[in-house]
A = this chain, B = another copy of it.
Amino acid sequence: MANATGGPEIEQLIQLLSRLPGLGPRSGRRAVLHLIKKKEQLMIPLAAALDRAVAAVKVCDACGNIDTVSPCTICADPRRAETGLLIVVEDVADLWALERAGIGQVRYHVLGGVLSPLDGVGPDDLSIDKLLKRAPDYSEIVLAVNATVEGQTTAHYITDRLAGSGVTITRLAHGVPVGGELDYLDEGTLSQALKARTKF
């Protein structure tokens, strides 16, 4: 098949962009053509922003959040400790969704996934040991995992491991649709679900 188009630099850029979630080979090509068309306004700023982000991005050693400092801005803010609430989420997208919902002065713990024996994800693959170490510093742990089978299995596992620690464990109120994913919910629903949280 003849394909004399673009050259290796462009071909490689298409292949890498095609691997972003939501893009494929065809939309990857469109994205690259768009970038080249908007070279000054988009392509060059994006290249610079990526370089800066590569250099700056850090995973918070305490909570797993992504920031440019570690401990992250949330972990370093003493006001965040006042409510005594530690919100456990599956990934950073959920943390960002809750922050956008403006749920207040809380801290987070990012598990980095959920237990999934079929996918070979066990407790050691998640940030559970760190959570157990942090738990005594908080008065309440909210298990804000997705309302999926794996999410709920993970919530039960964490509850078992925290048994006897004396810390109150709650979960988000129903309001999170069954089978739904946190990151897809609107901000009002997320706020309501936190306010009406129930004992686990």
Q: Which residues of A contact B (CB under 8 A)?
A: 1-10, 12-13, 16-17, 19-23, 27, 29-36, 39, 42-47, 49-54, 56-57, 59, 65-69, 73-74, 77, 91-93, 95-96, 99-100, 102, 104
- Would you call A51 and B46 a contact (CB within 8 A)? no
Please report the C-alpha to C-alpha distance between residue A92 and residue B14 in the assembled complex, in whole angstroms: 14
Interface hub of A1, A54, A65 (most chain B Cβ within 10 A): A54
Shortest Cβ gap from A65 to chain B (Å): 7
Interface of A is mostly: helix
Shortest Cβ gap from A43 to chain B (Å): 6
Please report the C-alpha to C-alpha distance between residue A2 and residue B31 in the assembled complex, in whole angstroms: 32
Please report the C-alpha to C-alpha distance between residue A96 and residue B3 in the assembled complex, in whole angstroms: 8
- Would you call A22 and B23 a contact (CB within 8 A)? yes
- Would you call B43 and A53 a contact (CB within 8 A)? yes
Q: Which residue of B lies closest to A99 (CB)?
A: B5
- Would you call B45 and A16 a contact (CB within 8 A)? yes
Q: Can you offer 22 A-B residue contacts whose CB atoms are under 8 A?
A: A3-B100, A5-B74, A5-B92, A5-B95, A6-B96, A9-B49, A9-B57, A13-B50, A13-B53, A19-B42, A20-B31, A21-B31, A23-B23, A29-B93, A33-B66, A33-B92, A33-B93, A35-B53, A39-B54, A43-B53, A47-B50, A51-B51
